[in-house]
Amino acid sequence: AKKELRILELKQENKSLAEGAIEKPPYKENLQQELATLEAELEKILKNSKAENIYEFMKEALDTSIENTKQLQQENAKLKEEVESVRLDCYGEALKNKKLQQENSKLKGELEKERMKGLARLEGWNKANKEIIKLRKEKEEWLKLINLDNAKN
């Protein structure tokens, strides 16, 4: 803003000098030389102003880029923590699953043993029942024989 104000002042001064040169012909050469000097100075100020604006723009862009990079790094760190947490949770669940599978296998083995014991008992009872049926048949036959023998006597 200061530079723009200075530029306007120089332009006004140039204009005033130019008008004065028209009114006073003897000083025309001096005024034209001063006008050329002022125009050169003005051009120099404009170039510096543009360079400064470009510098400011680039500096702002760099600062913004740095800030964005910091934010992205922070977000990245948070995401890494979340991923690690999830990974650990998954690992914990995998261990639980493995333990449960081992326990399940153990219980299946015990169940199979108990089933085999139960089958063995059933076979034993079945055998015993067959023996009882056989003995009952023999008893009936003996009773029939005894009854026949008693009937003869």
Q: What are phi and psi of 24, to 5 degrees?
A: -120, 85
Q: For 25-76, write each residue's pLDDT tens digit.
A: 555 566 677 777 888 887 887 777 777 777 788 888 889 999 999 999 999 9
CA distance 143 to 146: 5
Render the burial of 59-97: b for 16+ CB within 10 Å, e for the rest. Answer: eeeeeeeeeeeeeeeeeeeeeeeeeeeeeeeeeeeeeee
Q: For 23-32, write each residue's pLDDT tens digit.
A: 555 555 666 7
